[in-house]
Structure 1
Amino acid sequence: MANHEIKIVCVAICSRGIEPLLEAELDLLGGEIIKQTIGAVRFQGTLRMIYSACLWSRLANRILLELETFWVDAASQIYDGCSEINWEDHFHSGRTISVDFSGTSGFIKNSLYGSQLVKDAVVDRFRRLTGARPSVDPLGSDINIVVKLSRGRLSVMLDLSGKSLHRRGYRKAQVNAPLKENLATAILVRADWPNIAAKGGGMMDPMCGSGTLLIEAAMIAADIAPGLMRQNFAFALWSSHDSVIWKEIFLEAKDRRRIGLLTLDQKIIGYDIDDRAVNHAKRNIQQIGLQKNISVDIRPISELAQPLTETGLLITNPPYGQRIGEISSLKLVYQKLGQSLQRYFNKWRAAVLTGNEDLARVIDLTPSRRYQFSNGSIPCKLLLFDDMRSKSEIISQRINSRLTKNVITAGSSMVANRLAKNQRRLTPWLKKNHISCYRLYDSDLP
C-alpha cells in the first residue's frame, strides 16, 4: 500500500454543540468516524483526506494528528511515555517547538508542570539520538505538541492546522462581540441554509455587524473552501508532508471557487443601523472578493421590507444585553424583528441566535426547533421559526374558542333545570342561615 493510502488517526477539535455537525462534515470529506466526544471528533483518513479536512472544514478549530495514547499514574510516566514516541519521524531538531498541555490530576497540579515534562522528554530524546535539540518557542513555534490528560489517560497529538481554523483570513475589521466564523457556519447549517441556497432561496441578516454570517453563507453557496485565504498550515513543516498531494487539493479548491462564483445567484443582503459596522462588513466582504455577491446597507430593523425572493432564510445574532446593549433598549429591537417577520417573511425561515430567552419571547413567534450553542462564554440558543403567526394572537384565539358557549344537549338541559329548581327552593333557607356554599347529592340530580 502506498504511503498516501495509509489511514491516519486524527482528532478534530470544535466548540461544544457543534460536534454532530462536525462529524457529518468529516464523513462527507471522506473521513471514517471513530468516536464523537465533548468538543471533539476522533476519525481516520488518508493523507489526502486530512489535508482536505484542514482546507475544507468550516466547523473545526483544529485538526490534530494522534501520536500516542497511554495510561499514567505518576509524573515520571508522562516523561517516560513521551520519551518513547518517535519524534524524529515527525520533525527534525532544527524546528522550534511548543507544548500545549491541558488537564490535571493528583500528580499534575498545573498544566505548566505537565508541559515541562513533555518538553523535557522531547528535547532529551533528540539530544540522545542526534546530539542536537529543538528550541522552545511558546509563541511562534514551528511544531505545536498538544497533550491532554483526562482521568489518567494521556493523549499526545501534533497540531496539523496551526492557528485556529476559524480564522479564515478575511476579517480585517470587526465590531464588538463578533461571531466566530465556525460558529456562524454551525448556525447556518442548523438553519438548513445549504438546502435553502441550493433551491435558490435568499438570505438576509438585518443586524449583520461585521458581516460574518453573510460571508460564511456566500462561501457555502459558492462552494468556497474556508481555508483558501490562510497563509500557511502547520502540516507544511511536518516531516511526512506531501507537497504534491497538497498542491493538487489546493488547486482543485481554487477551481471550485471560480466555478462557484460564476453560478452564485442567491440574493445575500445585510443591514445594520451602525454605519461603522456596515463599513467593516464591506471591507471584510471586499477582502474575500465577494463584493459583487453580497450587498450591505445602513437600515434600522424597523424599516425591513418585502424580501426580493419568495423564499429564503433570515438569520441574525442580535445583542443579548450582556455585552453590548441594555435589556430595556433591546426589547424594542426584538419586538420590531418579530413584527417584520410576521408582516413580510411568511414563506421564509427565520433563525435567531440569542443568549437571552426573555428578549427572545418578545419576538412573539413560536420556534419550531431549538439548538444549544456557546458564543464565547455565553450559553446561547438558536431558535428556528417557520410559522410567522403571532404567538400571543394564537394563544388568545385558543382561549376565546374555549370560552365559546357550547351547545346544550337534552341531558345537560335536564341537569340545568333541576339545579335551577333546587336553587329557587333553597334560596330563602340559604339566605336565612347565611350559607353561600352547599353540596349536591345524586338524589338532587335527575
Structure 2
Amino acid sequence: MSALPLFVTCPRGVEPLLLTELQGLGAVALKERPGGVAAEADRETAYRICLWSRLASRVLMPLTRFPLTDVDGLYAGARAVDWPDLFSVQRRFAIEVAGRSAAVTHTHYAGLKVKDAIADRFREACGERPNVDTDNPDIRVHLHLDRDHATLSLDLGGDALHRRGYRARALEAPLKETLAAALLLRMDWPARAAEGAPLWDPMCGSGTLVIEAALMAADVAPNGQRPRFGFEAWEDHIPAVLTRLRDEATARAHDGRAKLPRLIGSDTDARGIRVAQDNAQRAGFADAIEWRVADALSVTPDDLPPGVLITNPPYGERLANESEIIKLYSLLGAHWARAFGGWQAGLFTGRPDLAPRMGLRAHSIHALFNGALPCKLLQFQVPQTQSAGAISGGEDFANRFAKNLKHLRKWAARSGVAHYRIYDADLPDYAVAVDLYATPEPRVHVQEYAAPKTIDPVKAERRLRQALGHIQQQLELPASHLHYKVRKAQKGDSQYQRQADQGRFFTIDEHGVKLAINLDDYLDTGVFLDHRPLRLRLQREAAGKRFLNLFCYTGAATAHAAVGGAASSVSVDLSNTYLDWALRNLALNGIHPPDPSRRSSADNPHRLFRADCLAWLQEQAEKGRPPQFDLIFCDPPTFSNSKKMDGTLDIQRDHVGFLLNALKLLAPGGTLYFSTNRRGFKLDPEAFAEWQVTDITRETLDEDFKRPPPAHRAWQFRDPRPVVRPVSPWGR
C-alpha cells in the first residue's frame, strides 16, 4: 500500500484545526468535511496520525462505498470486500454503525447484516469464520450510512482516540480529551507553553484540560499509552514501523517533560480533585501539576506571571439553578478583572448568552460542539488594573452598602440580632435586597428585583455584577456563601415553588429559637426577616395560651410561640412541603416529635393541619361551638390562585370576611395579629368597629426595615370582652 485513503473524524467545529494538524503530520490531499477531514497518507503517516493526533476521534480507512437501496444491498456490498485479505480468521471483530439512511432504518440490524457478510466471506475462503467481540475486538469495522450510500471502513485506531488511557473515571459530563485539546489549540497553548507561560483551570473537574495541556507542553504523544492499535491486527501490518515511531515518541517525551511550565487545576469539589490527581498520575504527571481544592471566585495567581486561564464552567447538577449560573458568570468576570489582569482567558460554555454578565469583551469566539450540545469558546484578554483587588464601577452602591453595614452591625450587636437586612434597593440603579444570616458562619442571601423592560439589560447586568462583587468583598465571603436569586413578579403561590433541589438546610438562632432556613431551593428562605419583632412579640405573649397560626408557611411564628410557653398551637397551611418544614422547626426546639405522620395527632398539643385557610376558617366559624384561641397570627399572601384552593384569595378584597371569621375563633380578652405585604393595602375600619384595632406597623419594623415604604403593615386586634378560659377541643 503506497497511499491509504483516510477519513479522520473529530468533534464538530474542530475540522479546521484537524486539517492543520494532519498536514503537520504528513497527510496529503486534505479536504475538510462535516465531522472530519478526508486525506491520503502512506503507512508510516497513518500510524503517526493514530499515535500523535490530539484532535482525531477515529482514523478510518475506507474500503468500499456503494449505493444503498435495502438491507440485501448492504449485505451484498459488504460481502464483496475481500475480508480474509485484510485480517486473519483468528482475529475477533466488531461492527460499529453511524449515520442515517431511509433504506436501512435499524442500525443494529444493519450491523448484523455486515457481520453476516463478513462471516460468510470467511467461510467461503477458509471454511470457518472469525469470532465477534463487541467489547475488545482486534478489528473494528465501521459502517457509515449516508442517505442512499454506505461506506465500510477499517478503524485504524481500533477504538475512539479520545480514550487516552489516563482517565479511569470522571465526574458529570466531562470534556472529551479531543475537545479539550482543540480548546487549548484555539488558545495557542503550545506557543505560550514554549514561552514558559503558566496555565490554570479554576474549575477543573476531573482535570482533563490541565492534563491535555501537560501532554502538549511536554510533547507527549497523546496515544502513546495505548496498548494496541487497530492496524496491528492487519495482515499487512509492519511492526517495525510502529516500534520506530513509539521509540521516537518516548525520546521526545523525555526531553519535553523537562520544560514544563506551571500547571494548576483547582475546584471546590474535593472528590473531583482526587479524581484529577489519579488521572494525572496515570498520564505520567503526578508531580508536574498542582491540584488545589479552592473556589474559582477566590483564587489568586500570587507570584505567577500572566498566563492562560481556561475553563469549562459546570452546569446542571453541579449548580443549584439558573440564578447560581448567573451568579457564577457575574462574579467570575469581576474576579478575573480584579485578580488576573494581563492573563489570556478562555471560557468554554454552553451558555454564551450569559457571557455579557462577565463584563469582559471577547476578542475571539469559536463555535464548537460538546457532543450534541452547541457551545462556544470565548477568548478574553483580561485588562490590567492599576489597583489589584479593586472592583471596577459601582462606587455609589459600595458606599451605601458600607454605610448600612457599619450602622446595622452596631445595632445588631446591641439588640442581640444575628440575621438582618443590610440593603434593600436603597439606590434605584441597584435593585437588590441583601440579607445576612449567621449559620453560624456568615452567609448572604441576595435577591435581585428583576429590571423592567424599559431598563437596558446590559446596564442591569453590569450593575448586578458590580453589586455582587462589592457584597462579596465587603463581607469577605467565599462565593459559595453568597446565595443569589432573581425576584420577579409572582402569580398565585409561585413564589413558594421550588427553584432548585439542593435540599440543604441551615439552622439559625433567633432570640433563642432555632429555625431551619434554605438559601437555595426557594425564592424565600423560610424566615421573613421583617417579621422578626412580631415573632418576638408572639414569643413573649404566648405563655400558657392557645395559639393559632394561619397561613403558617414554615411555622417560624409557631416555633416562637411554643418556645415562649404556649399551652397548645394549631398551624394551618395548604402546602405539605411547608408543613413538613414547620415540623422541622418545632423538632429543632424539642417541641414536636420529628414524625410527619404525627403532625396532627390528637395527643400532640402542637398540631399542624393541611388545609385551605379560607375554607378551614369558614368551616370552624360555622360550628355551633367553634374552638377558641387566646393568640392568633395571620400573615396571608397578597394574592393566591393555587390549584389546591377553591377560588382565589385577594387580601384587599377578602380581608374583611377572612378576618371576621378568624376573630370568631378568638377567646374573650384574646389578641389577633394581622400582617400583610400588600402595597397600598387599606384596612376597612368600619368592619371591625367592635374590636380594639391598633396599627402597630412601626412597632414591628426593626432598624434594618425602617426604610420607606414599609416592608409590611401590621395591626393588633383585641377582644374587649373579659377573659374567660373555656375548654378548647384544640388543646389544653
Between the aligned partners of 1:77 and 1:175, the Cα distance in structure 2 is 43
| 2:87 is the alignment partner of 1:80 | no
| 2:65 is the alignment partner of 1:69 | yes
Between the aligned partners of 1:105 and 1:15, the Cα distance in structure 2 is 21
- 1:300-345, Cα deviation, whole Å (9 max, x unpaired): 1232224544331100111134765422123332222212221232
Between the aligned partners of 1:205 and 1:218, the Cα distance in structure 2 is 12
Instruction: Say which of 316, 319, 328 aligns to 2:314.
Output: 319
1:371 maps to 366
Instruction: Say which of 276, 298, 306 aligns to 2:293.
Output: 298
Structure 1 residues not aligned, in runs of 5+: 397-446
| 2:224 is the alignment partner of 1:247 | no
Between the aligned partners of 1:317 and 1:204, the Cα distance in structure 2 is 12
Task: Give the secondary structure class of the aligned counterpart of 1:136.
Answer: coil
1:281 maps to 276
**Inter-CA distance 277–8: structure 2 relative to 1 (3 Å threshold):** same
Pairwise CA distance, 1:165: 0.8
CA contact (8 A) 2:68 2:149 kept: yes
CA RMSD of aligned residues (A): 2.2
- 1:346-371, Cα deviation, whole Å (9 max, x unpaired): 22110001111343322111111111
Task: Give the secondary structure class of the aligned counterpart of 1:119.
Answer: helix
CA contact (8 A) 1:201 1:309 kept: no
2:381 maps to 386
Pairwise CA distance, 1:206: 0.9
One-letter code aligned to 1:343: R
2:187 maps to 191
Q: Normalising to structure 1: TM-score of the pair?
A: 0.82
Between the aligned partners of 1:114 and 1:271, the Cα distance in structure 2 is 46
CA contact (8 A) 1:60 1:165 kept: yes
Between the aligned partners of 2:392 and 2:350, the Cα distance in structure 1 is 22
2:198 maps to 202
Between the aligned partners of 1:47 and 1:230, the Cα distance in structure 2 is 18
| 2:297 is the alignment partner of 1:310 | no
**Inter-CA distance 334–228: structure 2 relative to 1 (3 Å threshold):** same
2:19 maps to 23
Pairwise CA distance, 1:184: 0.7
Instruction: Say which of 168, 173, 187 aligns to 1:172.
Output: 168
Between the aligned partners of 1:339 and 1:107, the Cα distance in structure 2 is 55
CA contact (8 A) 1:23 1:33 kept: no
| 2:337 is the alignment partner of 1:342 | yes
CA contact (8 A) 2:102 2:148 kept: no
Between the aligned partners of 2:277 and 2:78, the Cα distance in structure 1 is 48
- 1:125-151, Cα deviation, whole Å (9 max, x unpaired): 111122121222333322211111213
Deviates more, 1:299-308 or 1:230-239: 299-308
Pairwise CA distance, 1:114: 1.9
Q: Normalising to structure 2: TM-score of the pair?
A: 0.51
1:154 maps to 150
**Inter-CA distance 15–280: structure 2 relative to 1 (3 Å threshold):** same
2:354 maps to 359
Between the aligned partners of 2:178 and 2:32, the Cα distance in structure 1 is 18
CA contact (8 A) 1:320 1:356 kept: no
Pairwise CA distance, 1:113: 2.7
- 1:392-415, Cα deviation, whole Å (9 max, x unpaired): 96988xxxxxxxxxxxxxxxxxxx
Pairwise CA distance, 1:261: 0.7
One-letter code aligned to 2:135: L
CA contact (8 A) 1:173 1:281 kept: no
Of structures 1 and 2, the one scoring higher in RCO (CA 8 A, sep 6+) is: 1
CA contact (8 A) 1:372 1:379 kept: yes
Structure 2 residues not aligned, in runs of 5+: 386-390, 395-457, 460-732
Aligned residues: 391
| 2:125 is the alignment partner of 1:120 | no
One-letter code aligned to 1:182: T
Deviates more, 1:51-60 or 1:124-133: 124-133
1:218 maps to 214
Runs of 4+ in structure 1 over 6 Å off: 389-396
- 1:117-172, Cα deviation, whole Å (9 max, x unpaired): 22222122111122121222333322211111213222110111122111111113
CA contact (8 A) 1:341 1:388 kept: no
One-letter code aligned to 2:226: R
1:399 maps to none
One-letter code aligned to 1:313: V
Pairwise CA distance, 1:285: 1.5
Between the aligned partners of 2:250 and 2:228, the Cα distance in structure 1 is 15
Identity of aligned residues (%): 38
Between the aligned partners of 1:311 and 1:344, the Cα distance in structure 2 is 10
One-letter code aligned to 2:332: L
CA contact (8 A) 2:19 2:30 kept: no
Pairwise CA distance, 1:80: 2.2
Between the aligned partners of 2:133 and 2:102, the Cα distance in structure 1 is 28
One-letter code aligned to 2:290: S
**Inter-CA distance 303–28: structure 2 relative to 1 (3 Å threshold):** same
Task: Give the secondary structure class of the aligned counterpart of 2:30.
Answer: strand
- 1:32-91, Cα deviation, whole Å (9 max, x unpaired): 143221112111111111111111111111111111122233433322222221111111
CA contact (8 A) 1:321 1:356 kept: no
